[in-house]
Chain A
Amino acid sequence: MATIRLTEIQKSFGSTEVLKGIDLSIEAGEFLTLVGPSGCGKSTLLRIIAGLEAQSAGEVRIGERLVNGVRAAERNLAMVFQSYALYPHLTVAENMLVPLRLRDLAFRERLPLLGPLLARAKYADLRRQVTETAEVLRLDTLLDRKPGQLSGGQRQRAALGRAMVRKPTAFLMDEPLSNLDAALRVHMRAELAELHRSLGTTFIYVTHDQAEALTMSDRMAVMMGGEILQLDRPQIVYDDPADLRVAEFVGSPKINALPGAADAEGRVHCLGIALTRRLAAEPGQPPREVTAGLRPEHFALSPQAGSDTLSGSLIYRENLGADVYLHLDLGTLRLVVRAGVEEARDYSLGARVHAVPRHDKALVFAEDGRRLRFRDETAGQDADTGLAAVARAAKAFVRPANTAQNAPQREAAAGS
């Protein structure tokens, strides 16, 4: 176990800049998720950590050791691939034996036929390690099968097994669950999180699925356009996104981004509603366009229109069983509002729905996507932003109002 530290990692393919100076420090034993839309550079970053790709600039350190230019095999990391990448001609046991053989045996001991005779004790030891790992992953009955004879989930476990046998410093996982069907994926999420807990090893997990990131990770790094936009605990990323792109990427259905305007005093007006909270004053700030972000669960339904409601006709009911998401047509934009099943029963397609936003939950973003803080949020804040972040984190975890709103996330997290 060791920390992994990336400093100023840059990578370009030809003239396209894929990574623009990534700084990232991964604690020992942490489950860190790199999440972002496809093409954001997350897989490239993982491959640079693995040593499969060389960075154009910057440093990778594992523990105290600088590993720039160190071969992938010598970094003692293990990787699990989306396509599992098991050797198709070898059985599961042989697949798991490959990394051990290459690491622990000398060249002459790896010779076919002769090798096992020369190093009988070593081979027995390697096989014992394979069986132990197989037992942990409940692969013991599958050891003699070839990958072609396994189901997707079993292949996934075999690939994990091959990564686990060598007891690496860290596991790197490149969208390992994307090829599984939905039910199995949710199940494997839980298994992976459990495995992480029992192994205590560092996991670096790449995914484009924000749900996987939210449910499994200790911290998640939201990447876009070759940069890390926000790196924090999943709940904070969800509740307190630093950027509009982060807010839009994390959470499903997507956050509602409503156009609004802020005046010089920091009052925000948005679709005819004035938010009760005021933005922290930025001296000399002229009135400007802003975007107010409100998640679907941050609305309450109201029987009639009022000064504080957004009204639109119901164009789509997205029924998820426990909740129903109502899609409202507000003319220029579409608003998604969460409703209870009972509540939603009263509305049929085309009906007029009135939604009341929860002012305390609104997130305001500047035109460039940057988050704008409210005055009461920044009130007790001193110059040390680090301290402020800790305070915010603490608040996010104790805020009782959250419990009801974030039920789906909580359930998913509990399942993992």
Chain B
Amino acid sequence: MTRFSAAETWKHAVLIVGALIVILPFYVMLSYSLKSPGEIERNEGGFFGSQAMMIDERCVKRGEPDRAAIAAAAERFPGSTDSEIQAALMAELRAACSRRPAVFNYTMAFSEAPLLRYLLNGVIVTASIFFIQVLVALPCAYALAKLRWRGREVVFSMVLFCLLIPVHAIALPLYIMLAKVGLTNTYAALVIPWTISVFGIFLMRQFFLTVPDDLIDAARMDGMNEFAIIWRVMLPTAVPALLAFAIFSVVAHWNDYFWPRIVVTGNRDLFTPPLGLREFKGDADGSFFGPMMATATIIVTPLIVAFLIAQRRFIEGITLTGMK
């Protein structure tokens, strides 16, 4: 047994409060994605809601029997008036359209908006961004860390300086440039502005500094040229750092709302997952918080799963210096 310690208790209390603040929005998101609209509005039902059957009004509206349907159904209800048949059909329809709220929310997420398409767009965009970022950052970082050339320090301080520039400051000029070359509403517009990651260059440079020079000299003696050294020696040794960078990059661009919102103006086929969320923003028939939160849950799940899988190596990558 460890002894009670006021300092430790205090530390943990603070950490727990911090954790709660971070976790709470996720809790609300998950909870709303499971509950019926009524429960959400009245704020009842705890985490799961009662999961009582609810009737999907839209489904009912769509399936409302018209005159032809009533006439067709006449023989199933012999001796009934039209209005009786209509009432009976409506009752059947209501039964067919009743769902569990959780099922309703998640099916809505996929049926109301082409969420799979958005997810695919998200994968295409984040993967291309990360791929090109690595393609650029590794040679840059190698040159900054391991080669001696005139002006290296200046270039490196420029890299550091670029770290300080917020995206939003250069968004407008970037947009205008893309518009001038006619690239808005393309994947290129979503990818190109992010292909040079100064953060990636900086992170990889710091990592490369810890790689012994002997390893590079050995590769040179073995007959590798500088590019072979980067891809066949530096890249494999830098996997932990690269994984850390991958998480930063993928999370940032998967979740990015700002930039896609600017350059994707009409074409819904190019929407990334965060843009997809807007589909559930209140229209004439009210907001759909349940499906919206279901969509949000679906969007963040791949990231959380990826992080859990890569967790150990990710932490390794951030605490770079541990690797020799």
B221→A102 contact, CB < 8 A: no
Q: Which of B221, B224, B239 contacts A52 (CB 8 A)?
A: B221
Q: Which residues of B contact A71 (CB under 8 A)?
A: 220
A83 touches B212 (CB 8 A): yes
Find the B residue at minimum CB distance from A88. B237
Q: Is the CB of B220 within 8 A of A73?
A: yes
Residues of B with C-beta under 8 A to A90: 236
In the assembled complex, which residues on chain B have CB atoms less than 8 Å from the CB atom of A174? Answer: 214
Residues B212-249 near A (CB distance < 8 A) = 212, 214-215, 217-224, 233, 236-237, 239
Determine if A87 and B236 form an interchain contact, defined as CB atoms under 8 angstroms apart.
yes
Q: Is the beta-carbon distance between A72 and B220 smaller than 8 angstroms?
A: yes
> Is there a chain B Cβ closer than 8 Å to A244's Cβ?
no
Q: Is the CB of A99 within 8 A of B233?
A: no
Q: In this assembly, does A374 line the interface, its C-beta being within 8 Å of a C-beta of chain B?
A: no
Which residues of B sit under 8 angstroms from A88, Cβ to Cβ? 236-237
Min Cβ gap B251→A in Å is: 26
- Residues facing B in A81-134 (CB within 8 A) are 81-90, 98-99, 102-103
Interface pair A89/B217, CB less than 8 Å apart: no
Residues of B within 8 A of A52 (CB): 217, 220-221
Which residues of the other chain, A, contact B219 by a CB distance below 8 angstroms?
87, 98
Q: Are B217 and A85 in contact (CB under 8 A)?
A: yes
Contacting pair A102 B222 (CB below 8 A): yes
Whether the pair A82, B214 counts as a contact (CB closer than 8 A) is yes
Contact B215 A87 (CB under 8 A): yes
Are A99 and B222 in touch, CB under 8 angstroms?
yes
Quick check: B214 and A78 within 8 Å, CB to CB?
Answer: no
Task: State A103–B221 Cα separation when bound (angstroms).
Answer: 11
Q: Once the chains bind, are A99 and B217 in contact (CB under 8 Å)? A: no
Is A77 engaged at the interface, CB distance under 8 Å to the other chain?
yes
Q: What B residues does A290 contact at CB under 8 A? A: none
CB-CB under 8 A from A77, the residues of chain B are 221
Task: Kindly state whether residue A79 has any CB partner on chain B within 8 Å.
Answer: yes
Q: Say whether B223 contacts A85, CB under 8 Å.
A: no
- Chain B 61-110 interface residues, beta-carbon cutoff 8 Å to A: none
A185 to chain B minimum Cβ distance, whole angstroms, is 19
Q: Check A73–B223 contact: CB distance below 8 A.
A: yes
Q: In whole angstroms, how far apart are the Cα atoms of A119 and B220 in the complex?
A: 24
Chain B, Cβ-Cβ closest to A99: B222
A326 within 8 A of B: no
Known contacts A83-B214, A85-B218; A103 and B237 CB within 8 A of each other: no
Q: Which A residues touch B218, using CB under 8 A?
A: 79, 81, 85-87, 162
Residues of A within 8 A of B239 (CB): 89
A190 at the interface (CB under 8 A from B): no
Q: A50 contacts the other chain (Cβ, under 8 Å)?
A: yes
Question: Known: A83-B212, A89-B236. Contact between A73 and B222, CB under 8 A?
Answer: yes
What bracket does the count of chain B residues touching chain A fall in? 10 to 19
Q: B60 → chain A, closest Cβ, in Å?
A: 58
Query: Could you tell me the distance in whole angstroms from the C-beta of B228 to the nearest C-beta in chain A?
Result: 8
Distance in angstroms between the alpha carbons of A71 and B75 in the assembled complex: 94
Contact with B along A269-295 (1 / 0, CB 8 A): 000000000000000000000000000
Contact A85/B236 with A52-B217, A78-B221 known, Cβ cut-off 8 Å: no
A79 to B218, CA, bound (A): 7
Contact of A72 among B214, B221, B236 (CB under 8 A): B221
The contact string, 1 if C-beta is below 8 Å from chain B, for chain A 51-67, is 01000000000000000
Chain B residue at smallest Cβ distance from A78:
B221
* A89:B237 contact, CB within 8 angstroms: yes
Our pick among B217, B223, B233, B236 for the contact of A81 (Cβ within 8 Å) is: B217
Bound-state Cα–Cα, A73 to B216, Å: 12
B217 touching A79, Cβ below 8 Å: yes
Within 8 A of A (CB), among B173-223: 212, 214-215, 217-223
* CB contact between B214 and one of A73, A85, A103 (< 8 Å): that residue: A85
Within 8 Å CB of A83, what residues of B?
Answer: 212, 214-215
Which chain A residue shows the least CB distance to B212? Answer: A83
Contacts of A73 in B (CB 8 A): 220-224
- Is A102 a contact partner of B223 (Cβ separation < 8 A)? yes
Q: Write out the residue numbers on chain A whose beta carbons fall within 8 Å of the beta carbon of B224.
A: 73, 102
Residues of B within 8 A of A72 (CB): 217, 220-221
Please give me the residue from chain B that is nearest to A89 by CB atom: B236
Is the pair B237, A81 in contact by a Cβ cutoff of 8 Å? no
Chain A's nearest CB lies how many Å from the CB of B208?
Answer: 14
Q: Which B residues lie within 8 Å of A79 (CB)?
A: 217-218, 221
Nearest chain-A residue to B224 (Cβ)? A102
Taking a contact as CB atoms under 8 Å apart, the answer to whether A87 and B233 are in contact is yes
Residues in A whose Cβ lies below 8 Å from that of B212: 83, 85
Q: Which of A148-175 contact B (CB under 8 A)?
A: 162, 174
Q: Is there an interface contact between B221 and A50, defined as CB atoms closer than 8 Å?
A: yes
Q: Return chain A residues, CB-CB under 8 Å to B222.
A: 73, 98-99, 102, 162
Nearest CB in chain B to that of A82: its residue: B214
Q: A85-B214, A85-B215, A85-B217 are in contact. Are A103 and B236 (CB under 8 A)?
A: no
* CB of B245 to closest CB in A, whole Å: 18
Inside 8 A of B223's CB, which chain A residues have their CB?
73-74, 99, 102-103
Task: State how many angstroms separate the Cβ of A16 from the closest Cβ of chain B.
Answer: 15
Residues of B close to A103: CB separation below 8 A: 223
Measured between alpha carbons, how far is A162 from B215 in the docked complex, in Å? 13
**CB-CB contacts of B118-142 with A at 8 A, as 1s and 0s?**
0000000000000000000000000
Closest to B148 in A: A13
CA distance A77 to B220 in the complex (A): 11
Write the chain A residue with the least CB distance to B233. Answer: A87
| Distance of A174 Cα from B237 Cα, bound (Å) | 23
In Å, the complex CA distance between A89 and B217 comes to 17
Instruction: Please name the residue on chain B nearest to A172 by beta carbon.
Output: B221
A307-330 contacts to B (CB < 8 Å): none
Residue of B nearest to A159 (CB): B218
CB pairs A–B below 8 angstroms (23 shown): A52-B217, A71-B220, A72-B220, A72-B221, A73-B222, A73-B223, A74-B223, A78-B221, A79-B218, A79-B221, A81-B217, A85-B215, A85-B217, A87-B219, A87-B236, A88-B236, A89-B239, A90-B236, A98-B222, A99-B221, A102-B224, A162-B218, A174-B214
* Among all A-B residue pairs, the 9 with the closest Cβ atoms: A73-B223, A102-B223, A85-B218, A89-B236, A85-B214, A81-B214, A99-B222, A85-B215, A83-B214
Known A81-B214, A87-B215, A174-B214; 4 more pairs at CB < 8 Å: A71-B220, A85-B215, A88-B237, A98-B219
Q: Which residues of A does B touch, CB under 8 Å?
A: 47, 50, 52, 71-74, 77-79, 81-90, 98-99, 102-103, 162, 174
